[in-house]
Structure 1
């Protein structure tokens, strides 16, 4: 199952809710990864927005949960707006800040609310003859900051969303490529005993630094050309 909640809205439409959060990443003394709050919120927003967009949803609003003090609010909003800008989106932002108590480590959460027409839902539509690939490398923690040239850029993600030859797109999370591939296959009544990919199959992709896609086999060369050095094929073993 995807990390997205669907709730009935109207007869042919559903509410879509996607969320992400981070802890011990920020500017507090006990944080494990030092990063600006703009960077923290950018990558959290990236995950929640990608989750919603990948299932065909239209994002409507974002809700921020801030545990870093009032002084960080502006930077957190700026990071979310940067992610929106790279995706050519504009959403209202609302949220809350914990101002009664001071935390020892940074924490931030974001929830994206959207809607999707049932007929536009991009799930369970991968056919048996599809091929698979990973776009971008799995990175986590300091790697995300040090190797940004290896993670999937949001403008490229936006282009991939619009390609009809791509059946489904799945952001890769902390459980890695193999886990997400198994979930995608299961959703489509397919199976694999193992697979081969040039990337580590069980490495965390942190803030969705890489993306799993299923696509029409005859369009592989066009997708490779579009994604260039970010393209990593997956060979399924039945």
Structure 2
């Protein structure tokens, strides 16, 4: 469900590692989606950071794996810096570049490293009376660029982390809404049920253009007010 690894640091804290990758997106001749590398790295960094922060972790460092070439390192860093700035973060960044071999398509890997206090870990804490919703809309590839106004903004994602009444937040990836919901329900002990949503349940949400949230029913009005028309209800048939 989550592309996150937890490793024990102490009796109270865990190291958290979250990752994302991108392939065939960039400015090489064989790329399937042509976009500047600042955009490639912005969305890659966005996913890794959202995965990390959604489980309650505090980001500490960022790692870039660059298979595009030395000449694009600075442009890739610019996209990462943009994502960090939108989240009001300043992190040390390290990484590596494949400079021995020339690739026919662009590729890059993104890793966010942080730590979480076990008491603040937001995994498996959704009660059975909770409701579910999608914030943002699922897009992938060129549709991400065409529909940037419908992509969940990072500042709004950060606001969701502190909004009262929200239990868990799961960035939605390439397997779609239903996959993330199924995983979230299973880890919290929900019985299988039919799912209804006005959004396509199996469409790829690419670089986490939307998130799944579980929340207290009494907080629905406050959440809707905060996110506006980014809110899409998920209904479960009893």
TM range (shorter): over 0.9
Partner Cα separation in structure 2 for residue 140 and residue 68 of structure 1: 21
Query: In structure 1, what is the equivalent of residue 174 of structure 2?
Result: 174
Partner Cα separation in structure 2 for residue 81 and residue 10 of structure 1: 31
Measure how far apart 1:11 and its partner are.
Answer: 1.4
Partner Cα separation in structure 2 for residue 219 and residue 192 of structure 1: 24
Query: In structure 2, what is the equivalent of residue 202 of structure 1?
Result: 202
Query: In structure 1, what is the equivalent of residue 154 of structure 2?
Result: 154
Structure 1 runs (4+) greater than 2 angstroms displaced: none
Partner Cα separation in structure 2 for residue 223 and residue 97 of structure 1: 42
Measure how far apart 1:229 and its partner are.
Answer: 1.0
Partner Cα separation in structure 2 for residue 140 and residue 90 of structure 1: 28
Partner Cα separation in structure 1 for residue 184 and residue 76 of structure 2: 32
Measure how far apart 1:164 and its partner are.
Answer: 2.6
Q: Give matches, 1:128-139, under 5 Å.
A: 128-139=128-139
Query: In structure 1, what is the equivalent of residue 100 of structure 2?
Result: 100
Measure how far apart 1:180 and its partner are.
Answer: 0.5
Q: Contact conserved, 2:164 with 2:219, CA < 8 A, in 1?
A: no
Query: In structure 2, what is the equivalent of residue 88 of structure 1?
Result: 88
SS of alignment partner, residue 9 of structure 2: strand
Structure 1, unaligned runs of 5 or more? none
Measure how far apart 1:191 and its partner are.
Answer: 2.2
Structure 2, unaligned runs of 5 or more? none
Query: In structure 2, what is the equivalent of residue 144 of structure 1?
Result: 144
Q: How many residues align?
A: 238
Partner Cα separation in structure 2 for residue 15 and residue 164 of structure 1: 26
Measure how far apart 1:193 and its partner are.
Answer: 2.1
Query: In structure 2, what is the equivalent of residue 32 of structure 1?
Result: 32
